[in-house]
A and B are shown apart, each in its own frame.
Chain A
Amino acid sequence: MTKEELISLITTQVQSYNDNLDEPVDLSAGADSVLFGEGGVLTSVDFVTLVLDIEEAVEDATGKSITLADERAMSQKHSPFRTVGSLANYIEELLEA
């Protein structure tokens, strides 16, 4: 998948999940939209749910099973879950590995 396709996939999943939220994730900044961490609105349960949704969507699209929230991801200085763009970059790395 291209970076643009991954950004689109993540955006679609977040848009869908936004229906469940009182305070939806603001996606107006495109790839720079904040998902998790400072300035984000998602709780830990939202994080788990969204990560699972995105993992499944990636598997449906590529046939490849990936694990997003592994030790490598959680120990990085700059969290790959910070923005839509950083998450797309991280998924791209996993798919190429």
Chain B
Amino acid sequence: MDRIILITGTRKGIGAALADYFVSQGDTVIGCSREMPDWAEGKKNYCHFLADVADEAAVKKMFRAVAKEYGRLDALINNAGIASMNHSLLTPVRAVQQVLSTNTIGTFLLCREAAKLMRKANYGRIVNFSTVAVPLKLAGEAVYAASKAAIVSLTQTLAREYADFGVTVNAVGPTPIQTDLIRGVTSEKLEHLLERQAIHRYGTYEDVENVIEFFLRKESNFITGQVIYLGGV
């Protein structure tokens, strides 16, 4: 579809699947992660940046390169995220800082720099990642859920701030998907979580792609500040 789409956290998991999906749709995808993916070499219409989303200088450098190379950005998908699945009494503050830094500060930085570029075309789509752990208030995920609750608030407020520039900001809240992010969670706990969903199954990459495609459609220009949770949560 010839869109220029920046996706964070594309080394593996949902980010890698999203990059593959949008390239297959004919879009140009710019990905980033702290380490190089093992699948990107030689991939057409894909460009990778080594960048930590919480590093302001690195993020600004990446956006300068995007502006120079492509001159515009149609969509930003803020997928990069890390989890800390642990009882809060056992969680060191260093882990709290890392999770907030990547999930919350990283999302803010990418939104800010993307909107600066998007405003020039008076058009843009930003999709952030929250999680069902926020409305479900999952014990053992206090820090992760707090960092993602902040994403809901950021999404709703940035939607108002960026509307004047033709940029929509929405969020998707996936259910558990079988990726590395949940590898530390016991199967018993995951089964219990699935029971609390209206539809009792794991999410898939295709479920996430579907919601994001909806937000990215040009016709979705009247939809902003919304959070769609998967699985009927």
CA–CA, A65 to B164, complex, Å?
Answer: 24
Asked if residues B119 and A49 are in contact (CB atoms below 8 Å), the reply is yes
Q: Give the chain B neighbours of A49 by CB distance below 8 A.
A: 119, 165
Asked if residues B164 and A52 are in contact (CB atoms below 8 Å), the reply is no
Closest Cβ neighbor of B116 among chain A residues: A52
CA–CA, A9 to B5, complex, Å?
Answer: 32
Per-residue CB contact flags for chain A residues 33-69 toward chain B (1 = under 8 Å, else 0) read: 0000000000001000100100000000000010000
Interface residues on B, range: under 10
Q: Judge if B3 is at the interface, Cβ distance under 8 Å.
A: no
**A contact residues, total (Cβ < 8 Å):** 4
Asked if residues B116 and A65 are in contact (CB atoms below 8 Å), the reply is no
Picked from B60, B119, B165, the residue with its CB within 8 Å of the CB of A65 is: B60
Q: Give the chain A neighbours of B60 by CB distance below 8 A.
A: 65
Asked if residues B116 and A45 are in contact (CB atoms below 8 Å), the reply is no
Closest Cβ neighbor of B115 among chain A residues: A52
Per-residue CB contact flags for chain B residues 155-191 toward chain A (1 = under 8 Å, else 0) read: 0000000001100000000000000000000000000
Q: Give the chain B neighbours of A45 by CB distance below 8 A.
A: 164
Per-residue CB contact flags for chain B residues 134-156 toward chain A (1 = under 8 Å, else 0) read: 00000000000000000000000
Q: Give the chain A neighbours of B165 by CB distance below 8 A.
A: 49
Report B131 CB to chain A, min CB distance, Å. Answer: 30
Q: Give the chain A neighbours of B119 by CB distance below 8 A.
A: 49, 52
Report B177 CB to chain A, min CB distance, Å. Answer: 37
Closest Cβ neighbor of A44 among chain B residues: B164
Q: List 6 A-B contacts (CB under 8 A).
A: A45-B164, A49-B119, A49-B165, A52-B116, A52-B119, A65-B60
* Residue ranges of A at the interface with B (Cβ–Cβ < 8 Å): 45, 49, 52, 65
